[in-house]
Amino acid sequence: MRFFGFNKRIGVVGMYRSGKTVFMTSLINHLERHDPDRFPLGKKRIRLGNFNPLPVEDGFRAFDYESHRHSLVSLQRWPTKTRMARQFRFNLTRSDWRYTLMDLTLTDLPGERLADIRIAKNSYESWSDEICGLFSTEPEYLAHAQGYIKTLAKAANQDSNPDQDEILHAYRLALARACLSYLPVITPSSFLLGPQGDYCGQRDEKGMAQTRYVGVDKDNQFAPLSKEVRKKHPGLAGLFKRRYEHYRRSVVAPTAHWLAQCNELVVLLDITTILAGGLGMYHGALALIEDLITYVDPGRGVLGQFASGLLKPLSAGHLTLPGITRIAFVASKADKVHASDRQKLLSLLRAMVQSRMNDLSEEYKLRVEYFACAAVKSTVSLNNGKLEGQPVELLQANSQKRPPVVRFTPSKVPGSWPENWGSHEYRFPDILPQMPARKDLAPPHLGLNLVADFLLSSDHLTE
Ligand SMILES: Nc1nc2c(ncn2[C@@H]2O[C@H](COP(=O)(O)OP(=O)(O)O)[C@@H](O)[C@H]2O)c(=O)[nH]1
Ligand SMILES: [Mg+2]
């Protein structure tokens, strides 16, 4: 039989630990072994079939689906941390689109990289002016960046060559402080997430400033220099500019290139962690949404400008402008709150995102939907507001023994975002994954099928 091709490139975007790997693993598993009872799609009991993995595209690393599934099924553990953007490509057919072979690509994209939008759209000089401006005028940044501003002022006033390492260290210290207060503009993002995917796990500013890099690697770091320093020390400015461009080509361009090619995005926001993290973390998540909108909105010209400067040479003259037609915003890990509170997760998600997306969806005919979902449902909700599950904190070090199933009361989800709140006012304990005893079954989930339904629909092919 002949099949018509139908391609969808789906990007899964979210901050570190927002649930991207688990989401992709569970989704792929349900598409691979589709069971219309456990994963109902469409109104007419659609059946999926002919699942067939394909090689990944050039420049991507393969998403290690089998090993992540093994970890869930056989070890009953969450998948280990993934590094780098990972891709999974496969074919699939659906019973309501006869003669259509879907070619689907799922790629995960760390949200931290979106902060590099400022590098994508600026030359080294204008990026420097933007960051130095932010650091010296915005009160919340100023509090962390005073040391850096002073270091620059000293360099501007000295005739001998300034100490490159001192400037870089002062910049890293400013970023570490900003990061510990959840301020969003952490750029270059290599400071948080290295080009090889190594994540900054530290929580002390000195350690972070000593071990992280601002640039492609240790020997290729750069920092923003004020106009005065650039004028006085053109040698240093030229050096940082070359390293900046190297970073732009090797770290920022692939992200922008990949985003420009996506048709659909899944944006995972872990509302439970944002609540538990306090107001600072809320601000960080808002910044992610803003950066994302700036990336995908062709009206803001970012990809347009960026595409002509960077993508054109990369794509041998062919320009692919953003073709995003659908965005699913997903409140992930919904099983960490009580069943009676899940609707509130959705309200909080909408309250954060909706007003920002409305203009965009009208102007560009973007379809935007909101979901609360658990990719691997690992709790049971009881009548008294309690949850039943196996808290990770009860795992004993070096023991293979599973902790007991216990009953606990997670925080209640507020009906709307509070005006202010601190970290640890809300508590939603991490739990171990619960998988069915039957090993060939895909994970139990909450609402993952609704997200899949949205992603696998088409405005052109009708059911
Ligand atoms: N209860 C629950 N926890 C989840 C779920 N998905 C992810 N998690 C938790 O979130 C952690 C990070 O998930 P992961 O997919 O690795 O995040 P990534 O860094 O965005 O890829 C996991 O180790 C789990 O503790 C879920 O569906 N339910
Ligand atoms: Mg991951």
DSSP string covering 369-427: EEEE-BSS---EE-TTS-EEE-BGGGPPTT--PPPPPEEE-PPPPPSS--S---TTSS-
> Using an 8 Å Cβ cutoff, are 187 and 248 in contact?
no
- Reported residue count of the chain is 463
Eight-state DSSP code of residue 162: P
Q: What is the spatial distance between Cα 251 and Cα 351, in angstroms, rounded to a whole number?
A: 32
| pLDDT value for 307 | 46
Q: What is the spatial distance between Cα 237 and Cα 235, in angstroms, rounded to a whole number?
A: 5
149: which 2 tokens? 């501003």
378: which 2 tokens? 């690992």
What Rg value do the Cα atoms of the chain yield, rounded?
23
16 close to ligand 1 (CB < 6 Angstrom): yes
Q: What is the spatial distance between Cα 432 and Cα 22, in angstroms, rounded to a whole number?
A: 12
**Token pair 């449902």 in the structure block, residue:** 377
172 close to ligand 1 (CB < 6 Angstrom): no
| pLDDT value for 298 | 56
Q: Are strands 48-54 and 86-94 parallel, antiparallel or unpaired?
A: antiparallel
Q: Which of 16, 75, 333, 446 to mutate to test the pocket of ligand 1 (most atoms within 8 A of CB)?
A: 333
Give, for all 463 residues of the chain, the pLDDT tens digit.
556 678 899 999 998 889 999 999 999 999 999 999 999 999 878 999 999 999 998 878 899 999 999 999 988 999 987 666 689 999 999 998 888 899 999 998 888 888 888 898 889 999 999 999 988 888 888 889 999 999 999 999 999 999 999 999 999 999 999 888 877 678 999 999 888 878 887 779 999 999 999 999 999 999 999 999 999 999 999 999 999 999 999 998 888 878 878 889 999 999 999 999 888 888 888 888 888 887 776 555 444 444 444 444 444 433 344 578 899 999 999 999 999 999 999 999 999 998 888 777 776 678 899 999 999 999 999 999 999 999 998 887 767 778 889 999 999 999 999 999 988 899 999 999 999 999 999 999 999 999 999 999 876 654 4
| pLDDT value for 318 | 38
How remote is the CA of residue 81 from the centroid of ligand 1, in Å?
10
53: which 2 tokens? 């993995």
Q: Are strands 61-62 and 86-94 parallel, antiparallel or unpaired?
A: parallel
396: which 2 tokens? 């004993």
15: which 2 tokens? 């901050």
How remote is the CA of residue 151 from the centroid of ligand 2, in Å?
37
How remote is the CA of residue 433 from the centroid of ligand 1, in Å?
9
How remote is the CA of residue 122 from the centroid of ligand 2, in Å?
29
How remote is the CA of residue 443 from the centroid of ligand 1, in Å?
13
Q: What is the DSSP string of 241-259?
A: HHHHHHHIIIIIHHHHHHH
> Which protein residue has the closest C-alpha to ligand 1 atom 7?
19
| pLDDT value for 315 | 42
Q: What is the spatial distance between Cα 272 and Cα 249, in angstroms, rounded to a whole number?
A: 36
Q: What is the spatial distance between Cα 285 and Cα 276, in angstroms, rounded to a whole number?
A: 13
14 close to ligand 1 (CB < 6 Angstrom): yes
| pLDDT value for 325 | 84
Q: What is the spatial distance between Cα 141 and Cα 182, in angstroms, rounded to a whole number?
A: 11
> Using an 8 Å Cβ cutoff, are 221 and 243 in contact?
yes
78 close to ligand 1 (CB < 6 Angstrom): yes
Q: Are strands 406-408 and 387-389 parallel, antiparallel or unpaired?
A: antiparallel
> Residue 39, SS3?
coil
378 close to ligand 1 (CB < 6 Angstrom): yes
Q: What is the spatial distance between Cα 271 and Cα 133, in angstroms, rounded to a whole number?
A: 32
375 close to ligand 1 (CB < 6 Angstrom): yes
19 close to ligand 1 (CB < 6 Angstrom): yes
> Which protein residue has the closest C-alpha to ligand 1 atom 3?
333
333 close to ligand 1 (CB < 6 Angstrom): yes
| pLDDT value for 100 | 86
Max Cα-Cα span within the chain: 76
For 312, half-sphere exposure in the C-beta direction (CA atoms, 13 angstrom radius) is 7
C-beta contacts of 232-240 below 8 A and 24+ residues apart: 232/155, 232/156, 233/155, 233/161, 233/162, 235/161, 236/161, 236/162, 236/164, 236/167, 237/124, 239/164, 240/124
> Using an 8 Å Cβ cutoff, are 190 and 175 in contact?
no
How remote is the CA of residue 412 from the centroid of ligand 1, in Å?
20
Q: What is the spatial distance between Cα 34 and Cα 40, in angstroms, rounded to a whole number?
A: 9
173 close to ligand 1 (CB < 6 Angstrom): no
How remote is the CA of residue 83 from the centroid of ligand 1, in Å?
15
Q: Domain-by-domain residue ranges, the chain?
A: 4-114+265-455, 122-251
